[in-house]
Structure 1
């Protein structure tokens, strides 16, 4: 009985620690994507509200934005977007927006041979909050 009582709190703590972070596995049309580089975080008034990640797979680069539960569950609507930045310029052709969507994937770009970043935004209160990952060449 003691072992069960000790294990249960540990399981609950690990489940709580996992909430709110991106759990992306693969881009919509590409089952073999893998994250490249470090995750970036979008903040609003010092609080993290979303994660931005860059992936590669199927011969393309992909941006991914995940709005954390703590922000998405607040009253009101929000919008989010994901886009690639290629050679220092935002690729608007890769941009995908979502209204009240917690996870948004950009369109894949043929940019594996170029320097790229993933770019993500969240807005809805009159302000735009954004972040981008480190550059990968």
Structure 2
């Protein structure tokens, strides 16, 4: 075990949490990686298309990336959860535009029953980031 790990009083000391509630942090950072999920702007509007909800996700993701000392170009992995997998082409069109100016991350896309029937897409991101004590 390295000296850095033994200096911590517990493994939890190695994790920095950003915002959130008693249920979940908005983001976590450990070992130079940040982890978070974003949803469309609440309250979720079922009248918006998947592409429009995705645009909301991307804006929230970029803000969260900045908060943890990262940026879009440092994304390492994205998990895309679609309410209806038949919307994947619509999602891909806006995703491709969003990542056009960076090297895109690895990604996976799944159909899933999301927490709200009005939510059409959710995004989980893992990104490289500055150590928490130097972020932001």
Q: Do they superpose with TM above 0.5?
A: no
TM-score, normalised to structure 1's length?
0.34
Higher relative contact order (CA 8 A, sep 6+): 2
Higher helix share: 2
Higher strand share: 1
